């Protein structure tokens, strides 16, 4: 039948959306390139920047420095823009940084319920779960439930503070430094810091065997 392929697509919506998107995006890119509105090398460069260069390792460096250098920690909490820029992490979606300090009494979590606001220069591009309706809807009404989804349970009575990024302020959580990491170098500590711990959906753990 002539419309067999059409029916076939409807049987496999996921497959069909994928191939439909590949075709549509490629078609628009070709048109925009021919009209001189985008430059392919510029598209490649910006993908390269956000896929390879900017990522949570930047934020991990900030956190590790805050853990090991009391003056830097103070500066970060008072003027996060300047303290983060001093390590070279500057760019779009990180113009107005605020560092949120976790303590044994208080745990911070960051969300954007309206879209996907996220501190690109220190964390890179947000993961799919951060942009998902599941996370955006739930974390403001049931943050402990979200932590459970991540396998994290905080002691009862720990205050939880959720920061909804509704403007251009961008938040970076400074997680608790794990026990058993005394004397570790800044570089080694940075390797322990996970992206999720800097959003507030994770905790930082010492490597197994490190605690004595």
Partner 1 sequence: MNGVHDTGGMQGFGPVLPEPGEPPFHAEWERRAFAITLALGALGLWNIDQMRHERESLPPAEYLASSYYRIWFRAVENAVRELELLDREGLRARTAEELTGLFSSRSSYERRIGAGPVFRAGQPVRTRTINPSGHTRLPRYARGRVGTVLAVRGAHVFPDRHAVPLGQEPDPTPEWLYTVEFRAEELWGQDADPTVTVSIDAWEPYLEAA
In this structure, are residues 212 and 181 in contact, taking their beta carbons and an 8 Å threshold?
no
User: Minimal distance in Å, beta carbon 127 to partner 1?
Assistant: 5
Check binding of 70 to partner 1 (CB under 8 A).
no
**Judging by DSSP bridges, how do beta strands 96-101 and 106-111 pair with one another?**
unpaired
Tell me whether residue 2 is one of the annotated catalytic residues. no
Task: Identify residues 82-141 at the interface with partner 1 (CB under 8 A).
Answer: 90-92, 94-96, 113-116, 124-125, 127-129, 131-141
Residues with Cβ < 8 Å from 148, sequence gap 6 or more?
none
In the bound state with partner 1, the residue whose beta carbon lies nearer, of 68 and 86, is 86
Report residue 14 as tokens: 């996921």
211 makes contact with partner 1 (CB under 8 A): no
- Three-state DSSP class for residue 152: coil
Query: Counting beta carbons within 10 angstroms of the beta carbon of residue 91, is it exposed (0 to 12), middle (13 to 18) or buried (19 or more)?
Result: middle
Contact pick of 163, 175, 178, 181 for partner 1 (by CB under 8 A): 163
The 24-63 contact track toward partner 1, x by CB under 8 A, reads xxx-xx-xxx-xxxxx-xxxxxxx-xxx---x--------
The answer to the question of whether 86 is labelled as a binding residue is: no
Q: Which of 19, 115, 137, 153 is catalytic?
A: 115
Nearest to 168 by CA among 102, 119, 121: 119
Are the C-beta atoms of 66 and 174 separated by less than 8 Å?
A: yes
Q: Is 116 annotated as a binding residue?
A: yes
**Which position among 9, 57, 72, 150 is part of the footprint of partner 1 (CB under 8 A)?**
150
DSSP 71: H
Specify whether 115 is catalytic. yes
How far, in whole angstroms, is CA 170 from its chain's centroid? 11
CA-based end-to-end distance of the chain: 72
165 is in an annotated binding site: no
- 77 binds partner 1 per the rule CB under 8 A: no
Enumerate the active-site residues: 112, 115-117
Binding site residues for Fe(3+), as ranges?
112, 115-117
Binding site residues, as ranges?
112, 115-117
């Amino acid at each position: 039948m002539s419309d067999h392929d059409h029916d076939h697509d409807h049987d496999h919506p996921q497959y069909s959306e994928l191939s439909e998107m590949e075709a549509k995006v490629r078609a628009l890119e070709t048109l925009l390139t021919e009209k001189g509105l985008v430059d392919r090398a510029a598209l490649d460069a910006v993908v390269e920047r956000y896929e390879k260069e900017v990522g949570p390792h930047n934020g991990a460096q900030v956190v590790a420095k805050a853990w090991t250098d009391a003056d830097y920690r103070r500066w970060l909490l008072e003027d996060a823009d300047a303290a983060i820029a001093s390590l070279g992490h500057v760019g779009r979606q990180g113009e107005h940084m605020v560092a949120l300090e976790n303590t044994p009494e208080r745990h911070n979590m960051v969300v954007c319920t309206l879209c996907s606001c996220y501190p690109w220069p220190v964390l890179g591009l947000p993961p799919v779960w951060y942009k998902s309706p599941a996370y955006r809807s739930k974390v403001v009404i049931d943050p402990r439930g979200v932590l459970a989804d991540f396998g994290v349970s905080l002691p009862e009575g720990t205050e939880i503070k959720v920061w909804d990024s509704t403007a251009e302020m961008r938040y970076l959580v400074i997680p608790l430094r794990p026990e058993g990491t005394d004397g570790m170098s800044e570089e080694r500590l940075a390797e322990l810091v996970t992206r999720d711990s800097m959003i507030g959906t994770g905790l930082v753990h010492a490597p197994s065997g490190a605690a004595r």
